[in-house]
Each structure stands twice: as structure tokens, then as C-alpha cells.
Chain A
Amino acid sequence: MDIQKKVKYEEELDRHFLEEIKDMSGCEEIDRCIQCGTCSSSCPMSIYMDYPPRKIIAMVKNGFREEALKSFTIWLCPSCYTCQVRCPAKIKITDVMYALKRKAIEGKVYPSRFAIPVLDKEMSKLIAANGRSSDLWLILNLYLKSWNPMGLLKMAPLGLKLIKTGRMSLKKDAIKNKKQLRTLLKAVKEGAR
């Protein structure tokens, strides 16, 4: 068995990571964290996480770029804001999780074929193209892009119930003024960053 070092030397840490994250919306106050753990104990998802929120904040503060961005934690955050309203240091923890998700997508380091980032990306694409989301198309894209045709099959009985009660449409919904949306998104893209 190959024995590996489990602790990082200081020079292996990314000194710029904290500043980079602090520059992102909602992350300005992150270094006020006192490591009390209120976030981790409030989080309904922390029992499923590889690192609970308190550790993620510590990792960002100390330059563990790869560990933070490749974690499942950031994707498991359901955006319930419980940690955020309880944080005694008033850190916008949910917004920090959003920022880390964006960094992970930007650097393409999220867990591959993991359904959550796939869903976020597919939904954003649908909205950018049509101005609206449509459940059926979103679900189809989700299962195709996360390579999970069995998941789609398992959804079929529910899909039928929803169609029967008029709660799922086969139609792709769209806004009328798509041109305006395209102009807007183009203007935002130009001169971004």
C-alpha cells in the first residue's frame, strides 16, 4: 500500500483563494468566522456532507481551494438559509455556497455526472433560451446529461399522474419577447469581469 501524507504543508495552500472568494457577492464578511459551528448544527443536510459548512468556511479562509471546490457539500446546500440567519458573525453562508458553486462550474471541477450541477446548468440554459423553464424538458435533459436513463424510467409513473391531473405540460413554454432577453444577456456578458 502506498502511504500518503494526509496533511498539507503551508506552501501547498492557495494564498489567493480567500481574497478571490471575498470579492464575490455576499462573501465579503467571510473572515469574521469564529468557527462556532452554529451553521453545521443548523444545517438539515450536514449529515450527508463530506465537510460540514463550518469546515468549508475554514477551508476557504485557509486556502484549501481544491478541497472546497470539489466537495459535495456546496452542491448539497438546498439554499434554506437557516445557517445564514443564525450565524452570530453575520456571514452570508448560503451566498458563500453559491459563490463556491459558481467557482466550481467555472473551473469545471464539480463531481462529474453528479445530478445537482447538471440540473442547475440545464435549467439556466432553458431559461436563457426561452425565458421560462419547463419541468418535462428540464427532467429529460437532467437524466440524459447525468447518464441516468433508469432514473427517467422510474419517474414515468409520477409523470403520468401529473399529466392526468394537468400538472405537467408537454409544451416548451417561452416568453414573447425573446429578442429582448437575448439583447440583455448579451449586454451582461459583454464587459463582464
Chain B
Amino acid sequence: MNGYVYFPGCSLKVSAKHYEESILPVFREVGLPLAELEDWNCCGATAYSSVDDTMASAICGRNLSLAEKTGKDIIAPCAGCYLTLKKSNKFLTGGLPKAEKILNDLRTAGCEYQGNVKVKHPLEVLTKEIGLEKIRERVTRKLSGIKVACYYGCQLVRPYTEFDDPDYPMSLDHLMETIGAQPVDFSAKTRCCGGSLTSTIENVGLRLNYILLREAKKKGADLIVTICPLCQFNLEVLQDKIVRTYKQDVKMPILYFSQLMGLAFGLAKEDLGFSRSIIPLKPFWAKLENGGKR
């Protein structure tokens, strides 16, 4: 397939609007403007596979079919959508009788899928296809002195680890270096944030996210940079409760990598969704103005 079509998923339209607001301009800047996949449906996330895996593959098949009709591969910024679509794609094109049945059902519903679409994450496309050199050329404002903990979470690097390491990936660290920020050695970078468990068993969610924030703080990070809406949400909205529960000041902004890239490309901060942050960003702006000094 030639070029990419953008699959937002439910998060980037609502709770992670600032991810959409920053990823689209960044791709425009690097010369790869993204159009949205027309009438996409939810990927089903972890929920649908827990209830009915056949249906789960079928609804992903509809998205793959819609993309195939545009002649383009999918870019999915949400790590959950990315994995779910990729997993279904592997299953549907794997030749098993169960998969053939679903492909047949897709045809019945008018969404035939021939298996030609690839599913990619923007981090993969930016670092492996566009390349760090080209990104470096675009940087007009280096984020000097900003210390970032690069958090990859789970589903971007596992279980399909085609473009980075499942335990200690580095592509986001290299990208952040390229725009002038300073990645810290964040040993919890692929430790789970709890995913949807934070909304169902809160005390467990608090603990998992406390571990991540504490480690980032210990390594001297000013902020955590994320690639996944659910990670961003969990790490951000639980902070007040984590501080109260563990009596430790682990508060810090949780930003999307695309927001930082947009800043480095010289785009106006008002256009990159920073106002949607629940954590105050004042110290971050001050440090940025001072060229990395507090």
C-alpha cells in the first residue's frame, strides 16, 4: 500500500484530544499529512477479546477493509488500537479456518478484506521511515535541558516487537534526543500502567502508577513522555490520589511525544493541546524559557 490513513480510535477523539491535536500537525511538518479513515469503528480494545474473540476480529476486519479500499496502510497512535488491529490482521491473514469464516462474513457485510494493509504506530513511521535526520532538520527550537522519562508502556512493544526491544526499547529516547530533550535512564519504561484496571480496582491502579512516577522522579525527570492515551490518562489523573496515598511528591506533567515534537518544530503551543493538561505546566514552561535551567 502507498501512504498512510489515520486511525484515531475512541480515545484520540475525546480523552486524548491533545494527542490528535499534536500528532496531525507533526506529520504535516514532516511532509506526510494524514487523512482520517472514513467511518472507522472502535478496535474493541482488551474488552472485546475477553468476551468474544471472533466478533473482536470481525470488527477489526471492518477497519482493515475500509483502509484497504483507500489503498493506504494504517497509522494508529493509540497503542491499544495499534496492537488490537495488528493482532487481528495477523489472525485474519493467517489462513486458519476460523479466520476464513470471518473473512467470508466480512464479504457478506460488504467489507471484503484481502489482507494487504499494514498497521503501524507513528513512532515507528517517524523513527524508521522518515528518519531522525529529516526530523533534526525540521527542529527550530531545541528543548534543551528538559529531562524526559520516555514511557513506552506495554502494547506498543509487546508481543509484536518488530521495530524495537520488548523490555528496553530506545526509539522514543532517540527521538527525544533528536529534538534536543534529555532522556533519563527510565528503567520502568515498559512496566505496565494497569490499563483499564485503574477504573475497576483503584488501589491497584494507584500502586502501579506510583511505581512509574516514583522511578521517573528518582531519575530526575521533569516530565514523562508517552505514546499511548491510556498510559497518559492513568499517569495523569491519578496523581493527586497517589500523592495523598503515598505521601510523596511525585507530581509531574505527562505529555505526548507529539506535543514536544510540535514545540521543537516551532509550532505555537496553543495549537498543540497543552491546555488540556490537568497537571499544571508552569514549571515546565519556565524551564523551557530558561533554556533548561530552573
Do B192 and A116 touch (CB < 8 A)? no
Q: Which residues of A114-137 are within 8 A (CB) of B? A: 115-117, 119-121, 123-124, 127-128, 131-135
Instruction: List 10 extra interface pairs beyond A76-B204, A161-B278, A168-B14, CB under 8 A.
Output: A78-B195, A78-B197, A80-B192, A92-B159, A98-B49, A98-B50, A131-B59, A165-B276, A166-B276, A181-B62
Do the beta carbons of A184 and B195 come within 8 Å of each other? no
Stretch of A9-17, A50-58, A185-193 at the chain-chain interface: A185-193
Q: What is the CA–CA distance of A48 and B194 in the complex, to the nearest angstrom?
A: 12
CB distance from B243 to the nearest CB of A (A): 15
**Residue on A nearest B18 in the bound complex, by CB:** A167
Contact with A along B86-113 (1 / 0, CB 8 A): 0000010000001001101110111100
Neighbour of B10 across the interface among A134, A167, A188, CB < 8 A: A134
Q: Which residues of B approach A to under 8 Å, CB–CB?
A: 10, 13-17, 39-42, 44-55, 58-59, 62, 91, 98, 101-102, 104-106, 108-111, 154-155, 158-159, 161, 166-167, 190-192, 194-197, 199-201, 204, 208, 237, 275-278
In the bound complex, do residue A158 and residue B51 qualify as a contact, i.e. CB atoms below 8 Å apart?
no
Report the minimal beta-carbon distance from A155 to chain B, rounded to whole angstroms: 9
Residues of A near any B CB (own CB < 8 A): 24-25, 44-45, 48, 76, 78-82, 84-85, 92, 94, 98-99, 101-102, 105, 115-117, 119-121, 123-124, 127-128, 131-135, 139, 142, 158, 161-162, 165-169, 173, 175-177, 180-181, 183-185, 187-189, 191-192
The answer to whether B51 touches A131, judged by C-beta atoms less than 8 angstroms apart, is no
Given contacts A82-B192, A98-B53, A180-B111, contact A116 B275 (CB under 8 A): no
Q: CA–CA, A132 to B106, complex, Å?
A: 18
Q: Hey, which chain A residues are within 8 Å of B197, CB to CB? A: 45, 76, 78, 116
A158 to B140, CA, bound (A): 37
In the complex, A81→B153 CA distance in Å? Answer: 11
Complex A-B: 24 CB contacts under 8 Å? A48-B204, A78-B194, A79-B195, A80-B158, A80-B195, A81-B166, A82-B158, A84-B158, A85-B161, A85-B167, A99-B53, A116-B200, A117-B50, A119-B196, A139-B199, A162-B237, A173-B13, A175-B39, A180-B109, A181-B109, A183-B109, A184-B109, A185-B55, A187-B109
